[in-house]
C-alpha cells in the first residue's frame, strides 16, 4: 500500500509516517518510481508506534524495543539482546513515569483536601478512586 492508504488506515498523517521513517521506525520498500510501499504489517507497526509515543516513550526507546514487540501488550526481548544502554533508557523512563504518578497523586490529594474544606458535603475522600 502507498503512504496515503497507510495514513487512512491508521489515522496518522503522512508527514508523521515520513518522520517515523526518518527515525528508523518504519521501513517501507521503494518502487522504481521512488514511491513508498508498505506491507500489511506496517498498519500494526504504526499503531504500536503511536501507542508507545502516547505512553511517553521517545523514538530512541521505541527504536530499541520495536523489533521485539509481538503485539500491543507484550514485549518479547530476550535477555541476551537487552543492551545496557536500552536497559538504562527503560529504567530512566520508569523513574519518570513514577515521578509523574507521585506528582499527580499529591495534586489529587491536595485538591480533594481543598474541596473537603470548602465544600464538605460534596468532596470525596482523597484516597477514593476517581472515574
**Measured between alpha carbons, how far is 116 from 15 in angstroms, rounded to an integer?**
48
Q: Is the pLDDT of residue 73 over 60?
A: no
**Measured between alpha carbons, how far is 88 from 94 in angstroms, rounded to an integer?**
10
Q: Predicted confidence band at 60 (pLDDT cuts at 50, 70, 90)?
A: confident
Q: What is the pLDDT of residues 3-13, one digit of tens each?
A: 999 999 999 99
Q: Is the pLDDT of residue 94 over 80?
A: yes
**Measured between alpha carbons, how far is 50 from 56 in angstroms, rounded to an integer?**
10
The phi and psi torsions of 83 (rounded to 5 degrees) equal: -80, 160
Q: Predicted confidence band at 43 (pLDDT cuts at 50, 70, 90)?
A: very high
**Measured between alpha carbons, how far is 48 from 46 in angstroms, rounded to an integer?**
5
Angstrom distances, CA of residue 96 to CA of 61, 89, 131: 14, 11, 24
Q: Is the pLDDT of residue 82 over 60?
A: yes
Q: Predicted confidence band at 80 (pLDDT cuts at 50, 70, 90)?
A: confident
Amino acid at each position: 500500500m502507498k503512504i496515503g492508504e497507510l495514513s487512512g488506515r491508521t489515522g496518522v498523517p503522512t508527514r508523521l509516517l515520513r518522520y517515523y521513517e526518518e527515525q528508523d521506525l518504519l521501513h517501507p520498500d521503494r518502487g522504481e518510481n521512488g514511491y513508498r510501499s508498505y506491507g500489511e504489517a506496517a498498519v500494526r507497526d504504526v499503531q504500536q508506534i503511536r501507542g508507545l509515543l502516547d505512553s511517553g516513550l521517545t523514538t530512541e526507546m521505541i527504536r530499541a524495543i520495536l523489533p521485539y514487540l509481538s503485539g500491543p501488550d507484550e514485549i518479547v526481548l530476550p535477555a541476551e539482546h537487552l543492551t545496557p544502554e536500552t536497559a538504562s533508557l527503560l529504567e530512566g523512563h520508569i523513574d519518570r513515569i513514577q515521578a509523574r504518578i507521585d506528582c499527580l497523586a499529591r495534586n489529587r490529594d491536595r485538591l480533594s483536601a481543598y474541596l473537603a474544606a470548602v465544600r464538605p458535603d460534596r468532596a470525596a475522600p482523597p484516597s477514593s478512586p476517581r472515574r
